[in-house]
């Protein structure tokens, strides 16, 4: 018996792209740039906070000592 998909990622992505395209096409150039820059700034801030918190939890490794024979 085949199972039915509960979530279709391709269809959802297509719906999102169509809706976003309609929203952006309704805006003028300045509004569009402000909207897109705001989105990018939010994503960058989220990445920065995520990176800072992950680095804080990680202990530092001791530097590796090399055995140099002359």
The residue extents of the domains of the chain are 17-56
Over residues 3-17, the pLDDT tens digits come to 777 888 999 999 999
Tell me how far apart the alpha carbons of residues 63 and 48 are, in angstroms, rounded to a whole number: 26
Over residues 20-51, the pLDDT tens digits come to 899 999 999 999 999 888 888 888 888 888 77
């Amino acid at each position: 018996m085949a199972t039915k998909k509960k979530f279709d990622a391709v269809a959802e992505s297509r719906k999102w792209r169509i809706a976003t395209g309609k929203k952006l096409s309704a805006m003028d150039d300045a509004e569009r740039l402000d909207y897109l820059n705001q989105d990018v700034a939010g994503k960058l801030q989220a990445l920065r906070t995520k990176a800072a918190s992950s680095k804080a939890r990680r202990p530092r490794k001791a530097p590796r000592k090399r055995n140099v024979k002359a």
